[in-house]
Amino acid sequence: MSLLVVGLSHRSAPVSVLERASLSADAKVKLLHDTLAAEPAAEATVLATCNRIELYADVEKFHAGVAELSTLLAQHSGVALEELTPYLYVHYEDRAVHHLFSVACGLDSMVVGEGQILGQIKDALALGQELHTAGRLINDLFQQALRVGKRAHSETGIDRAGQSLVTFGLEQLAAHQPVGEWAAGKRALVIGAGSMSSLAAATLARVGVAEVVVANRTAERAERLAEILVASGTGVAARAVPMSAVAGELARVDVVVSCTGATGLVLTGDDVTAALTDAGAPAGLSPTPPLPETGGEPPAPSWGLRPQTPAPQMPAGLENGAAPQAAGPGTADGFAAPQAAGPAVADGFAAAGVLGSAFAAAPQAGVDAEVVARLAAAAQAGRRIADAGAVRTITAPAPVEADGCPVGLDAPAEGVGSVGGGRSALAGVDAGSLELHGAWADQGEAAAQRQPRRAARALADGAVPVRLALLDLAMPRDIDGAVHRIPGVRLVDIESLAEASADAPMAADVDAVRAIVAAEVAAFGAAQRAAHITPTVVALRAMAAEVVAMEVARLDGRVPDLDERQRAEVTQTVRRVVDKLLHAPTVRVKQLASEPGGAGYAEALRELFDLDPQTVASVSRADAADPMNDDPGRAS
């Protein structure tokens, strides 16, 4: 049997896919039951957090295990296998152990070094133990992962590099201000009362907010969390409210942190707009009216207008849609370069310089010049032009060529509509190739999608002073992503945290943690391989003891006159001879079996001594049933 991990995380998949693939509590239970019902898996557990979904299983066959586990993940996540496959990574045997130990140490977290993952690993092990899907390998692996994670945090300074998602999220909300200065005196609303929400409430109290309001579907849990905050000694005022009171509280708070298990949105754009309107702040989603065919005014939006912005002036030569007459720096064939900088694009209005560049580049980019002329006319009239995405579409920058999967698993399969080919792409691919595909996916499928979103957020953040700061730590998301378009609102969610953490500096202590992980992986592998041969060694010694007993009985029949002292001495002598003959081979075979590639020594021992396979299997079953080897209390 061998350890196999199939999963996806923020390193391999965009947040939109992670959000759709997230597993509810019931889905986790069904997934584990179905995994054990499938032939390739003997034991399993699932590690599902806000930024990863991983299925760990002990399988007999690699390819059958990959295909089965991938199919089960797709079935229970609700994402089609063909769509999910390009984002999946696969780790096997020692690579799988290395992956989990790295996760436990925070090396694979969105915020490097964060310690919350240890609690999530403990929960994954507890779930497997509760459902009786975690056997010896999963128990040993996850308990050792917890020890490795604790060792990394105690022996290195990884804590200095890492912080919780809550702390990192608050830093992003505070922008360039120290969090303590930004939070001082603010009123905060925490939606949810689970572990992440509790951490958020405690963090807000620690950084100096004046009041924390806790809303939760279960009133008792909200009240308990509020009581803990009041008793924390931070001086924060705290109270609990029902979920039905969230809309009213939203109008009086400055900060909202949401992390619930809801499958739908907890806060919509309309909720936030209504709250800001009630509080007397400018509100309303920026509308996207159709482009004017003539110079007429666009229809008034139904949900509120942004403050009017002075109309940018068009460069000379563009008033009537004409191209520039002379080439400036970086121009070609008399047209301005598409990258030429004009007035800044802000709050949904396109700057004339960018439009001029787009107009000039239109003939080369294959864009209809009439469309560009309409955009220029709308900008000159001071009207809103969709958003910066329209300009980016018109300028048609050349796509960046990205390296594809080294084994071609990102190529469309014949007859399959999406990338990767789904299950058919897995057939016949060896373990090394699948791990190469996993490593390629780990390097940043989502990176290509970061810059446009980050630019859009920057435009929205700079429009008006922030009236309401929203931190969404849920997966799937609790807060409508469109609220960042509301004036006075700043939204930080899992996706924007992933973008920000990609640029975060790595601490020097990360190298020390990696060394710890490497050493622990080697030790765990050696222990597992040694444990694998132990039943064979025990069976060999049992057979030797049986031979000694038979020969002593035979001696009693031939020399019946031996007294008890003589008989005991003869018996002890025979046993010593057998023990000395077996000592060196058994010690040596354990040493050899603990090394990589040593699994064959157990089979050689069984063949050389003609050991009964049923005897070896019975020793394995008895050892696995030992409560000392499967103690749920060891998960702590």
Q: What angle separates helix 352-365 from helix 388-395, to the nearest 10 degrees? A: 30
CA-based nearest residue to 434, from 70, 18, 24, 38? 70
CA-based nearest residue to 371, from 384, 351, 345, 390? 390
Place of tokens 């050892």: 623
Contacts of residue 273, Cβ cutoff 8 Å, sequence gap at least 6: 283, 284, 285, 303, 304, 486
Q: Any catalytic annotation for residue 50?
A: yes
Measure the CA–CA gap between 13 and 444, rounded to whole angstroms: 8
Cβ burial 491-505 (10 Å sphere, 16+ → b, else e): bbbbbbbbbbbeeee
Q: Which amino acid does the sequence have at 131?
A: L
Answer whether 57's CB lies under 8 Å from 69's CB. Answer: yes
- For residues 345, 346, 352, 353, the Cα torsion angle rounded to the nearest 10 degrees is -30
Place of tokens 């579907």: 217
Q: Which amino acid does the sequence have at 72?
A: L
Measure the CA–CA gap between 122 and 12, rounded to whole angstroms: 24
DSSP 1: -
Contacts of residue 505, Cβ cutoff 8 Å, sequence gap at least 6: none
What's the order of all strands across the beta sheet hosting 2-9? 41-49, 52-59, 2-9, 89-92
CA-based nearest residue to 222, from 242, 237, 236? 242
Beta strands in 408-512 (DSSP E): 468-472, 489-493
Cβ burial 254-291 (10 Å sphere, 16+ → b, else e): bbbbbbbebeebbbebebbbebbeebebbbbbbbeeeb
Answer whether 45's CB lies under 8 Å from 385's CB. Answer: no
Measure the CA–CA gap between 413 and 402, rounded to whole angstroms: 19
Q: Which amino acid does the sequence have at 179?
A: V
Q: Is 431 helix (H, G, I), strand (E, B) or coil?
A: helix
Answer whether 4's CB lies under 8 Å from 38's CB. Answer: no
Contacts of residue 557, Cβ cutoff 8 Å, sequence gap at least 6: none
Q: Is 444 helix (H, G, I), strand (E, B) or coil?
A: coil
Q: Tokens for 232?
A: 């924390």
**CA atoms 252, 258, 263, 264: torsion sign:** positive
Q: Is 307 helix (H, G, I), strand (E, B) or coil?
A: coil
**Residue in 50, 105, 259, 405 annotated catalytic:** 50
Answer whether 361's CB lies under 8 Å from 335's CB. Answer: yes
Active site members = 50
